[in-house]
């Protein structure tokens, strides 16, 4: 068992936006080591139950020794399985839902989990050990074009073709099984001048891309958003912290679409589409970490929070 620590990001903003006054039930769908939940529970003595969901059994078990409170109900599940978790607990809706996407430092810093290029370990990267696909599978089994697509789309890596070629060349000498082995292959594929000029390790983007692919993080986020509003009571808040522009785009588009009312052409005298706003957006612009937080916790640099409130069911009336 490791003893790594995780510093939660944007805690003040989470406390401000994640739940309405007098909330009783809250779901933290990416509980991790419970940093956000701890802050929420401490600030909200009236909260009766906090449902703590994480897809990683190991972190959920370890979190008991880091932070506990009798109001916490831990459930190993994906965020998109929240409706199922609520049914199991006989709860029909919550007052607030939070997801803080990506991985915890606890996972990142454990070499055995294989998330980090700085720590030699097996190429794993699964948040949930039941997931059948590992990073090793992706690196060794995908074709060149598939690798390039993953590195480009999920990592925005400009040397994707060169890196994919280097991986394929190396595969001819045997499987790539270790994080340090892959990091060396990637570093060797990036031109030396770019390696020197870049402020980040040359393997950063590719490791992120492989992690997103292994855990199907974007598909999972889309599946979560599709069910999230159905799990909220009217007036309840949904908050998402994302770290990647693709994630943030999904959240932004989702919130804009659900906040929109009638979409009939303006020339129609009455509304025939019947579309009503389902939510009110609480954060017109995403909330970023202040400079002092970024200085203390560099991981917060790319974090952004978006939050919305579920509307009461609309009455059927004219536009």
58 touches ligand SAM (CB under 6 A) = no
Of 244 and 258, which CB lies nearer to ligand SAM in the complex structure?
244
CA distance 304 to 155: 18
Contacting residue, 10, 25, 26, 30, with ligand SAM by CB under 6 A: 30
Pairing state between β 232-242 and 304-310:
antiparallel
**Per-residue contact track with ligand SAM, 101 to 140, x per CB under 6 A?**
xxxx----------------------x-------------
CA of 274: how far to CAs of 132, 226, 235, 310, in Å? Answer: 43, 20, 21, 18
202 touches ligand SAM (CB under 6 A) = no
Of 27 and 142, which CB lies nearer to ligand SAM in the complex structure?
27
CA distance 205 to 197: 15
Q: Which stretch binds ligand SAM (CB under 6 A): 95-103, 156-164, 165-173, 282-290?
A: 95-103
Least Cα distance to 281 among 304, 248, 257 occurs for 257
Q: Which stretch binds ligand SAM (CB under 6 A): 50-58, 193-201, 281-289, 304-312?
A: 50-58
Contacting residue, 18, 44, 52, 54, with ligand SAM by CB under 6 A: 54
Of 10 and 189, which CB lies nearer to ligand SAM in the complex structure?
10
**Per-residue contact track with ligand SAM, 205 to 234, x per CB under 6 A?**
---------------x--------------
| Residue ranges in contact with ligand SAM by CB under 6 A | 6, 8, 29-30, 32-36, 53-56, 59, 78-79, 100-104, 127, 220
């Amino acid at each position: 068992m490791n003893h790594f620590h995780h510093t939660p990001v944007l805690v003040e903003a989470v406390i401000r936006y994640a739940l309405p006054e007098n909330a009783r039930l809250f779901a933290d769908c990416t509980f991790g080591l419970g940093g956000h939940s701890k802050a929420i529970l401490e600030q909200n003595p009236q909260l009766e139950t906090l449902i703590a969901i994480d897809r990683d059994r190991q972190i959920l078990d370890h979190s008991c020794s880091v932070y506990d409170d009798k109001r916490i109900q831990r459930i190993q599940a994906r965020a998109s399985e929240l409706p199922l978790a609520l049914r199991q607990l006989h709860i029909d809706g919550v007052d607030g839902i939070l997801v803080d996407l990506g991985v915890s430092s606890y996972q990142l810093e454990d070499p055995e989990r294989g998330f980090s290029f700085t720590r030699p370990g097996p190429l794993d990267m699964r948040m949930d050990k039941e997931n059948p696909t590992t990073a090793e599978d992706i690196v060794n089994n995908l074709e060149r074009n598939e690798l390039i697509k993953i590195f480009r789309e999920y990592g925005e890596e400009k040397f994707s073709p060169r890196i994919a070629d280097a991986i394929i060349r190396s595969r001819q000498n045997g499987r790539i099984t270790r994080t340090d082995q892959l990091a060396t292959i990637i570093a060797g594929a990036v031109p030396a001048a770019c390696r020197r000029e870049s402020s980040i390790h040359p393997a950063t983007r590719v490791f992120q891309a492989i992690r997103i692919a292994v855990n199907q993080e974007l598909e999972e986020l889309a599946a979560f958003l599709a069910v999230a509003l159905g799990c909220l009571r009217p007036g309840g808040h949904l908050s998402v912290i994302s770290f990647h522009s693709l994630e943030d785009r999904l959240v932004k588009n989702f919130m804009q679409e659900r906040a929109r009312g009638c979409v009939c052409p303006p020339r129609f005298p009455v509304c025939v589409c019947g579309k009503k706003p389902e939510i009110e957006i609480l954060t017109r612009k995403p909330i970023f970490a202040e400079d002092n937080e970024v200085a203390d916790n560099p991981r917060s640099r790319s974090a952004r929070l978006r939050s919305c409130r579920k509307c009461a069911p609309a009455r059927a009336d004219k536009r």
